[in-house]
Chains A and B, each alone.
Chain A
Amino acid sequence: MQSNSLAGRAARLLGLGAGIALLASAALAEPLKVGFVYVGPVGDHGWTYQHDQGRLALEAALGDQVETTYVESVPEGADADRVIRQLAASGHELIFTTSFGYMNPTVRVARSFPNVRFEHATGYQRAPNVSTYAARFYEGRYVVGLVAGRMTKSNVIGYIGSHPIPEVIRGINSFTLALRSVNPEAEVRVVWVNSWYDPGREADAAKALIDQGADIILQHTDSPAPVQAAQERGVWAVGQASDMARFGPDAHLTAIVDIWDAYYIDHTKAAIDGSWTSQDTWGGLADDMLRLSDWNAAIPADVVAEAEAAKAAIMSGELHPFRGPVRNQAGEVVVPAGDIVPDGDLLSMDWYVEGVQGSVPK
Chain B
Amino acid sequence: MPIRLEPRGEASVAWVYLTPVLAVGLTVIAGGVLFAALGFDPFRTLHAIFVEPLTSLYGLTELGVKATPLVLIAIGLSFGFRANVWNIGAEGQLTLGAIFGGGLALWFYGQEGPWLLPAMILAGAVGGALWAAIPAFLKTHFNANEILTSLMLTYVATQLLAFLGYGPWRYPDGFNFPQSRMFCYDATMPLLVPGTRLHLGFGFALFAVAGGWLLIARTLIGFQIKVIGLTSAAAAYAGFNRNRIIWFTLLTGGGLAGIAGLSEVAGPIGQLVPSISPGYGFTAIIVAFLGRLHPLGILAAGTLMALSYLGAESAQIIIGLPLAATGVFQGMLLFFLLACDVLIRFRLRLGRPVPAAAVAKSAEAGA
CB within 8 Å of A: which B187-223 residues: 197
Binary interface encoding of chain B residues 60-97 relative to chain A, with 1 for a CB under 8 A from any of its CBs, else 0:
00100110000000000000000000000000000000
In the complex, are the beta carbons of B323 and A73 less than 8 A apart?
yes
Binary interface encoding of chain B residues 267-284 relative to chain A, with 1 for a CB under 8 A from any of its CBs, else 0:
111110111111000000
- Chain A interface: which of B31-39, B314-322, B355-363? B314-322
B182 within 8 Å of A (CB atoms): yes
A165-B177 CB under 8 A given contacts A77-B277, A86-B313, A104-B182:
yes
In the complex, are the beta carbons of A77 and B269 less than 8 A apart?
yes
B interface, over-half SS: helix
Given the complex, which residues of B lie within 8 Å of A163, measured CB to CB?
Answer: 166, 178, 274
- Chain B interface: which of A13-21, A64-72, A263-271, A300-308? A64-72
Given the complex, which residues of A lie within 8 Å of B273, measured CB to CB?
Answer: 76-77, 101
In the complex, are the beta carbons of A77 and B176 less than 8 A apart?
no
A204 within 8 Å of B (CB atoms): no
Of A78, A86, A166, the residue contacting B267 (CB under 8 A) is A78
In the complex, are the beta carbons of A90 and B317 less than 8 A apart?
yes
B175 within 8 Å of A (CB atoms): yes
In the complex, are the beta carbons of A166 and B176 less than 8 A apart?
yes
B162 within 8 Å of A (CB atoms): yes
A223: min CB distance to chain B, Å: 18
In the complex, are the beta carbons of A69 and B317 less than 8 A apart?
yes
In the complex, are the beta carbons of B317 and A71 less than 8 A apart?
yes
Given the complex, which residues of A lie within 8 Å of B320, measured CB to CB?
Answer: 69
In the complex, are the beta carbons of B176 and A361 less than 8 A apart?
no
User: CA separation between A164 and B309, bound complex, in Å?
Assistant: 31
Interface size range of chain B in the complex: 35 or more
In the complex, are the beta carbons of B276 and A90 less than 8 A apart?
no
CB within 8 Å of A: which B234-285 residues: 264, 267-271, 273-278
B223: min CB distance to chain A, Å: 37
Given the complex, which residues of B lie within 8 Å of A90, measured CB to CB?
Answer: 317-318
Given the complex, which residues of A lie within 8 Å of B166, measured CB to CB?
Answer: 163-164, 361-362
In the complex, are the beta carbons of B317 and A87 less than 8 A apart?
yes
User: CA separation between A104 and B62, bound complex, in Å?
Assistant: 18
B9 within 8 Å of A (CB atoms): no
Please name the residue on chain B nearest to A194 by beta carbon. Answer: B162
Of B182, B269, B277, B313, the residue contacting A82 (CB under 8 A) is B313
A124 within 8 Å of B (CB atoms): yes
Given the complex, which residues of A lie within 8 Å of B58, measured CB to CB?
Answer: 85, 89
Given the complex, which residues of A lie within 8 Å of B264, measured CB to CB?
Answer: 77-78
User: CA separation between A101 and B62, bound complex, in Å?
Assistant: 20
In the complex, are the beta carbons of B175 and A77 less than 8 A apart?
no
In the complex, are the beta carbons of B314 and A347 less than 8 A apart?
no
B114: min CB distance to chain A, Å: 24
In the complex, are the beta carbons of B175 and A124 less than 8 A apart?
yes
User: CA separation between A85 and B310, bound complex, in Å?
Assistant: 13
B118 within 8 Å of A (CB atoms): no
A348-B175 CB under 8 A given contacts A72-B323, A81-B268:
yes
B324 within 8 Å of A (CB atoms): yes
CB within 8 Å of A: which B139-162 residues: 159, 162
Given the complex, which residues of B lie within 8 Å of A81, measured CB to CB?
Answer: 197, 268
User: CA separation between A263 and B180, bound complex, in Å?
Assistant: 31
A83-B313 CB under 8 A given contacts A75-B275, A77-B276, A362-B167:
yes
Pick 19 A–B contacts, CB within 8 A, sort by A: A41-B324, A69-B320, A71-B313, A71-B317, A72-B316, A75-B278, A77-B273, A77-B275, A77-B278, A78-B267, A78-B268, A81-B197, A81-B268, A82-B310, A83-B317, A163-B166, A165-B176, A194-B159, A362-B167
Partner-A contacts on B (CB < 8 A): 58, 62, 65-66, 159, 162, 166-167, 175-178, 182, 197, 264, 267-271, 273-278, 309-310, 313-314, 316-318, 320, 322-324
For the A-B complex with A69-B316, A86-B317, A100-B177 known, give 9 more contacts whose Cβ atoms are closer than 8 Å: A42-B322, A78-B65, A78-B197, A78-B264, A81-B197, A81-B268, A83-B317, A101-B275, A350-B176
